[in-house]
Chain A
């Protein structure tokens, strides 16, 4: 569905993807992904899927961040770096993930020997809600983008609608094409 590779070749507002699993995921990336709902209380950190398009008025960055409320979202511009953070609050029981228990015991290694903490929610055999399928859980979205010189960092604006964060990055005035009129002498 997604075209094979349309990574940005040039203007790099978004050319530096955030490192995934910065919180030191154990095991390979696949193992960390499958078992991540069960590994710790701290939600896993992931980079939201992003679209970057250029229009006449500037660059537009679209980030899929479903489950992030308005007050759970922080955007920082520092120098030429734009940092996006967002926390989800689904309130689902992470211990009930489809592969949760098996992955945690198989992959976790010696550093996760602590007894499993009780679930913070009321799920489970004794609780009311029984989970049949769990394909998503709480995450911390985190992404760092490097702004190009063409972007006017002072005029960046953002809005959140339907779980999609839209960041508008207007081009600097100087970067707009300008035709020079030749004067008659």
Chain B
């Protein structure tokens, strides 16, 4: 079981970056423990989260959005047979992404292609940037 509360706006990562090499061993061990790996991006309209989840289909994934977090849960199936080599991870996994902006939960979408999960979380209208013209008198 891997529980990991890192990822979005994660303060320890910023410390790692500041500390330079000091964080590298930590990052190396952490990189192994984190499953699935995530790419998190943001544009004006939405937050886009992509995860590498090979071997999991959409039915085996549980994606939950709360006010502050996106939780990605699932389980990697165990291959049946007599093992000669086992490198692929198995078992349940969970990752929590902390969201710092309100999300329009009803319009969130998730798609899966070639083992890559893409979650698009549209930002709530209230927080999108708007241009307001102020009349100067």
- Please give the residue numbers on chain A whose beta carbons come within 8 Å of chain B beta carbons, in ascending order: 1-3, 6-11, 13-14, 30, 34, 49-55, 59-60, 62, 64-69, 90, 92, 98-99, 102, 123, 128-136, 160, 162-164
Q: Are A6 and B13 in contact (CB under 8 A)?
A: no
Instruction: List the 5 shortest-distance A-B pairs measured between CB atoms, nearest first.
Output: A163-B115, A53-B81, A66-B115, A163-B54, A135-B37
Q: With A66-B115, A67-B52, A69-B114 known to touch, is A60 a contact of B31 (CB < 8 Å)?
A: no
Q: Are B53 and A163 in contact (CB under 8 A)?
A: yes
- What is the bound-complex CA distance between A105 and B127, given in angstroms? 37
- What is the bound-complex CA distance between A59 and B85, given in angstroms? 11
Q: Which residues of A have CB within 8 Å of B50?
A: 90, 92
Q: Are A129 and B7 in contact (CB under 8 A)?
A: no
Q: Are B116 and A66 in contact (CB under 8 A)?
A: yes
Q: With A129-B42, A134-B39 known to touch, is A53 a contact of B84 (CB < 8 Å)?
A: yes
Q: Which residues of B have CB within 8 Å of A3?
A: 86
Q: Which residues of B have CB within 8 Å of A68?
A: 114
Q: Which residues of A have CB within 8 Å of B68?
A: none
Which residue of A has the minimal Cβ distance to B56? A162
- Please give the residue numbers on chain B whose beta carbons come within 8 Å of chain A beta carbons, in ascending order: 2, 7-10, 13, 17, 20, 24, 27-28, 31, 34, 37-44, 48, 50, 52-57, 79-91, 112, 114-116
Q: Which residues of A have CB within 8 Å of B84?
A: 6-11, 13-14, 52-54, 59
Contact of B54 among A52, A66, A123 (CB under 8 A): A66
**How many A-B Cβ pairs are below 8 Å?**
146
Q: With A30-B28, A129-B42 known to touch, is A51 a contact of B87 (CB < 8 Å)?
A: yes
Q: Which residues of B have CB within 8 Å of A162?
A: 54-57, 112, 114-115
Q: A1-B91, A132-B42, A163-B114 are in contact. List 14 more A-B contacts (CB 8 A).
A: A2-B87, A2-B89, A11-B84, A30-B24, A49-B89, A53-B80, A55-B80, A69-B114, A92-B39, A99-B17, A132-B40, A136-B37, A162-B114, A164-B54
